[in-house]
Amino acid sequence: MRNSTRAEVFQLAETVVRNLCTRTNLLWIVESDLRARLPTIIYGEATAALPELARRAVAEATPDPAETQRMVEEKVRADLAEIIRTRADELVPEVAGAAVADAMPDMAQLESQLVGHAERQVAEAAQRETQQAIPEVVTRSSAEVSKSVIATIGEEQQRALDSIREAVEKEVESALAEFTPNIVRVSLPEGSTIDVGADAHQVLPELLVALHARCHVLLVGPAGTGKSMLAKQAADGLGLDFQALSLGPTTPMSKVFGYFDAHGNYHDTPFRRAFEHGGVMLLDEIDNGHPGLLAELNQALALGTCAFADGMIEAHENFRLVATGNTYGTGADRHYVGRQALDAATLDRFVAIDVPIDEKLEERLALRHAPSHHDAVRELVEEIRRLRALAEEKQLPVIFSPRASIDGAKLIEAGASIDQVLRWRVLRGLSKAHRNALEMADR
């Protein structure tokens, strides 16, 4: 075959294929457009047909005038004898009296008058019965038909409204669960209430009650459960100032109790301000602080008096201390290898409250950080929960905190995929053995 002929054949085949693809695309576009418009078309046709159906129903239920006339005639004919007898009893004496007066009674005239009066009475009765019967029948039939049509339409509308209302209620509940902050209200023994209008952990009411009782509190839980935020929300709920300080093995005394500089000026600290003027003082990571520093706090917590660099200070009546830790002061474990063992005298100053992972709060916060990717965020949160449960079951030294879900949601909203989030934020730094144990060897 010549090259020119082969090229022409290829060109012809390409044209045919292009035309087929074009027609296929046109058919797909038309089909998609019809499917999209189908509900609107059905609704319009149903709306247009409903009045005509109602008119037909009324027409079918309206009584036949001929049948109505027949019924009236039968009733009038049944009453005709009685009407004639009644009118005869009234007319005969009158006519007879006139005839006696004339001395020549005219029987033909008497009969004619009697028949005339009877005919007029019959006509009036027939007219009256017809006027009463027809409107009543028509009105009753129309009312029954209208009532039936309205009832049928009302039932269909009610069923549709109930279905729509149920779907809307489900969507509203879902939206509220995802976006609406849970309002925490605590009723105190004295009768007053405390409202905290923000997303809060499930143990916030317990913390508020303990602080209202003028107790110092130790919040213990895994990393990322919101212990520090709980302390701030409790301060807001009680209407107190909030101060915070994070402790470590090398935190100096001066960072807690203050110091004098070279010019003789005293520099206070967050702890000093809360102790002297009132407020909630957060000591974060208390089980990471130096035991000697914590021992210095014992006197302040037990006696309400503390030795600062510039002298002894009495504690304000509204001073509350909230400490957070990942352990109960028992020392390091497989997760928190740098934690210190706390002295029993220090632990004895606190009311301890467990702060577990609040999974509802975790999901709500994650969804709020990715409003346009809810499905992807839910999938990510479920995967993190699976990894968390598996790590706990196998006692692996790895942590999958709610912070991973929240940070992952932020990355997804910024355009990252779930696989990227898992690599960058969730599985980062894990050994091959840990990945295999978590069934994530391919990630």
Do 119 and 3 reside in the same domain of the chain?
A: no
Average pLDDT per consecutive 10 residues, the chain (443 residues; last block may be shorter): 66 73 70 70 69 66 63 62 57 49 51 56 56 53 54 62 62 54 62 68 91 93 91 91 93 92 94 96 91 85 90 94 86 66 83 93 92 94 94 90 94 95 92 90 77
Same domain, 232 and 338: yes
Distance CA 285, CA 247 (A): 6
Count of other CB atoms within 10 angstroms of residue 215: 13
Which backbone phi and psi does 266 adopt, to 5 degrees? -85, 135
Residue in the block written with tokens 């609704």: 43
**Tokens 């070279």 found at:** 262
CATH of the domain at 300: 3.40.50.300
Asked whether residue 168 is domain-assigned, the answer is: yes
Give the model's pLDDT for residue 103: 42
Whether 344 and 249 map to the same domain: the answer is yes
Answer yes or no: is 250 within a domain: yes
In terms of Cα–Cα distance, which of 282, 288, 281, 357 is closest to 327? 288
**Which of 127, 147, 176 is a domain's end point?**
176
Instruction: Decide if 51 is inside a domain.
Output: no
pLDDT tens string 55-113? 776 566 565 666 666 765 666 566 655 655 565 555 545 544 554 445 444 555 645 65
Q: Quick one: 36 and 84 in the same domain?
A: no
User: Which pTM was predicted?
Assistant: 0.58
Counted domains in the chain: 4
What is the token pair recorded at 346?
A: 């220090």
- The count of residues in the chain is 443
Residues 171 and 117 in one domain: yes
Residues 140 and 288 in one domain: no
On whether residue 238 sits in a domain, the answer given is yes
Closest to 294 measured CA to CA, from 240, 348, 231: 348
In 139-192, beta strands by DSSP E: 183-187
188 part of a folded domain: no
Of 326, 354, 382, the one marking the end of a domain is 354
201/342 same-domain check = yes
Residue 30 lies in a domain: yes
Say yes or no: 156 and 67 in one domain.
Answer: yes
Structural domain including 79 reads 62-176
Residues 217 and 298 in one domain: yes
CA–CA gap between residue 351 and residue 294 (Å, rounded): 16
Same domain? For 34 and 85 the reply is: no
* CB count in 10 Å sphere of residue 21: 10
Which pair of structure tokens corresponds to residue 423? Answer: 């690599």
Residue 183 lies in a domain: no
Rounded (10°) angle between helices 3-61 and 107-179: 140
379 and 314 part of one domain:
no
Q: What are phi and psi of 322, to 5 degrees?
A: -120, 120
Q: Which of 176, 204, 231 is the last residue of a domain?
A: 176
Distance from C-alpha of 295 to C-alpha of 347, rounded to nearest angstrom? 10
Please state, in angstroms and rounded to a whole number, the distance separating the CA atoms of residues 406 and 367: 8
Q: What is the DSSP letter of 353?
A: E
Please state, in angstroms and rounded to a whole number, the distance separating the CA atoms of residues 87 and 151. Answer: 50
- Cα separation, 239 vs 254, whole angstroms: 28
Task: Please indicate, yes or no, whether residues 305 and 157 belong to a single structural domain of this protein.
Answer: no
Contact between 315 and 278 under an 8 Å Cβ cutoff? The reply is: no
- Whether 135 is in a domain gets the answer yes
Tokens standing for 133?
């019967």
How confident is the model at residue 104, as a pLDDT? 46
Q: Please report which helix (H) or strand (E) contains residue 392, including its range.
A: helix 374-393
Beta bridge partners of 186: 194
* Burial (CB count <10 Å: 0-12, 13-18, 19+), residue 182: middle
